[in-house]
Structure 1
Amino acid sequence: MHPQLSVVIPMFDEEQVLPLLVDRLRPVLDGLDAAYEVVAVDDGSRDQTPVLLQRFRREWPELRVLRLRANAGHQAAISAGLSAARGDWLVTLDADLQDPPELIAEMMAVAAKGEVDVVYGVRTDRSSDTFFKRLSAKIFYAGMRSAGAKDLPDNAGDYRLMSRATVDAVNALPEHHRVLRLVIPSLGFPSESVGYAREVRAAGSSKYPIAKMVRLSVDSLTGFSLTPLRLATWFGLGGFLAAVGLLLYALIAKLTGLTVAGWTSTVVIVAAVGALQLLCLGIMGEYVGRIYTTLQRRPTYYVAYDSLSAGADERSRTRTHPAHD
């Protein structure tokens, strides 16, 4: 049966939280009175996550397992799920249960009532997060809006409901290392939002350390805005004006006989100019690297196994070679 709803869940080493997720998610989806599928994207897990997924799939026919050959990252795993999902509506949900699956029914109701393409889950209460997490999130959203992401909902992560038209538009985009929480608002499709209190992680540990958070921020900025390049231009212009000012000061000092050898000032000026140059080169390097990656046209992920295809192949073999008593 063609599913009306697909729920895409990226997973990486989630063996501890997976049973809790199934216990909470399945009753919610069974109560929607709509055909659905759950696309669990195993992003190269190294623990017992693949084994547990196969065990739950035998008991839960609507569970579909999509296994990637290697860890491709959170955003790439979501993209893999979006490409494979078949539903008329799609929900992206993390496995850690910090975003309550019970909100899916409300999202569906809001989409039907408001005739919108996207319903964002907005974290109106983040008291369960650490102070650093809340501060970094505030800086991220404020910085991205300053860089041009005017439609970015505040405190909206990757928990959202999307129409098939939205998903098709996202899948048609050619860019690599895309950050979906920026890409989807930039489409400009009609949207609404529902608020919720962010919960603590149900089990296990976070798979998003500081290094990945920084990488996500860099990908967000360089993949969405040209502001850093313009900033490098302004740095260059400011350095040129400062050099002209220093030149005039040196000429005046020479003419008035006030020249004094200043080791400290020389070192400070040289270090400052060198730091600005390296910063500008680094910014340009990020953009050149994205261009290089795009020109290579290498896939961001490789699918090793899809239980839907595997099941179809098995049924085909059964029909071709029926079992004999």
Structure 2
Amino acid sequence: MHPQLSVVVPMYQEQEVLPLFVERLRPVLDGLATPYEVVAVDDGSRDQTPVLLQRYRREWPELRILRLRANSGHQAAISAGLMGARGDWVVTLDADLQDPPEVIAQMLALARAESVDVVYGVRTDRSSDSVFKRLSAKVFYAGMRRAGATDLPDNAGDYRLMSRATVDAVNALPEHHRVLRLVIPSLGFPSASVGYVREVRAAGRSKYPIAKMVRLSVDSLTGFSLTPLRLATWFGLGGFLAAVGLLLYALVAKLTGLTVAGWTSTVVIVAAVGAVQLLCLGIMGEYVGRIYTTLQRRPTYYVAHDSLTGQDSRTAAGGAVNRAGELSRTPTPPARD
């Protein structure tokens, strides 16, 4: 039966929380009276996550396993799930149970009642997060709005429901290293939101350390806005004006005989100008790097196995990994009389 609802769940090293996640998610979906599928995207886990998924699939026929050949990252795993999802409505949900699965019913009902394409899950209470996490999230959302992401919902992560039209639009985008929490609002499709209380992680540990959070922020900024480049231009203009002012000051001091021999001011000025130059070069380097990776046209993920077909990318007849990274099939030519 064709599923009306697909739930895409990226997973990486989730053996501790997976039993709890299945225990909460399945009753919610079974109670919707809607044909569904759960697309569990195993992002190259090296623990018992693949084994547990296979075990649950034997007793849960709606569970579909999409295994990536190597760890590709959270956003790439979600993109792989969106590419493979078949439902008329698609929900993206993490497996750590910080975003309660029970909200899916509210999202689906709201989308149908108001005829919107996207329903965002908005965290109305983040008291379970650390002070650093709450502060960094506030800075991130405020900074992205200043950079031009005016449609970005506040405190909305990757927990959302999307219509088939929205998913098709996202899948058609050619960009690499996309950050979906920025890309989807930028489409401008009709949307609504559902508030919920963010819970503590049910088990295991977070897969988003500070380094990955910084990388996500950089990808968000450079992949969505030209503001950093314009900022580099303003830095350059400010440095030029400061240099002109110092030149005029030096000329006046020379003419009035007020020059004082010393190196402190020179060192400070040279260090400041050098720092601004390096900052500007770093900003431009981020954009050049994104252009370089785009021109390489390398897939952001490789699908190793899809339990829907029961075949992997090496043995599937006519199977090939295309530019977007999904497993595709070459049509069989019609037989001739």
Query: What is aligned with 1:319?
Result: none
SS at 2:194's partner residue?
strand
Distance 2:287 2:217 in 1: 14
SS at match of 2:272: helix
Superposition TM-score, scaled by structure 2 size: 0.92
Partner SS state of residue 308, structure 1:
coil
Instruction: Tell me, yes or no, if structure 1 residue 305 matches structure 2 residue 337.
Output: no
Aligned equivalents of 2:261, 2:108: Cα separation in 1 = 73
Match of 1:135 in 2: 135
Please tell me whether residue 169 in structure 1 is matched to residue 153 in structure 2: no
Rate the CA distance shift 1:122–1:97 in 2: closer, same or farther, 3 A: same
1:262 positional shift: 2.5
State the SS of the aligned residue for 2:13: coil
Distance 2:186 2:119 in 1: 14
Equivalent residue for 2:191?
191
CA distance in 2, matches of 1:309, 1:261: 79
1:5 alignment counterpart:
5
In structure 1, the residue matched to 2:235 is: 235
Q: What residue is the counterpart of 1:54 in the other structure?
A: 54
Q: Alpha-carbon deviation of 1:261?
A: 1.6
Q: Please, what is the CA RMSD of the aligned residues?
A: 1.3
**Matches of 2:294 and 2:185, distance apart in 1:** 22
Alpha-carbon separation, structure 2, partners of 1:161 and 1:263: 62
CA drift at 1:311: 7.2
Structure-1 residue corresponding to 2:251: 251
Separation of aligned partners in 1, 2:226 and 2:261: 42
Aligned residues: 314
Could you tell me whether the CA contact under 8 Å between 2:125 and 2:197 is conserved in 1?
Answer: yes
Shift of 1:99: 0.1
Matched with 1:105 is 105
**Amino acid aligned to 1:124:** T
The C-alpha deviation readout for 1:11-69, integer Å capped at 9, x for no partner, is 00000000000000000000000100000000000100000000000010000000000
Give, in angstroms, the shift of residue 263 of structure 1: 1.3
Letter in 2 for 1:24: R
Instruction: Give the AA of the match of 1:102.
Output: E
* 2:268 is aligned with 1:261: no
Equivalent residue of 2:8, what SS? strand
- Aligned counterparts, 1:199-238, within 5 A: 199-238=199-238
Residue 76 of structure 1 corresponds to which residue in structure 2? 76
Q: Give unmatched runs, 5+ long, in structure 2.
A: 313-337
Q: Provide the identity percentage.
A: 88
Q: Secondary structure at the match of 2:266?
A: helix
Structure 2 counterpart SS, 1:309: coil
Q: Quick one: distance in 1 between partners of 2:50 and 2:28? A: 23
Amino acid at match of 1:145: R
Mean Cα deviation higher: 258-267 or 270-279 = 258-267
Contact 2:124–2:195 (8 Å) recurs in 1: yes
Matches within 5 A, 1:113-124: 113-124=113-124
Instruction: Return the alpha-carbon distance in structure 1 between the equivalents of residues 270 and 57 of structure 2.
Output: 63
Q: What CA distance in whole angstroms lies between the structure 2 residues aligned with 1:272 and 1:55? A: 60
C-alpha distance in 2 between matches for 1:265 and 1:19? 64
- In structure 1, the partner of 2:290 is 290
2:65 is equivalent to residue 65 of structure 1: yes
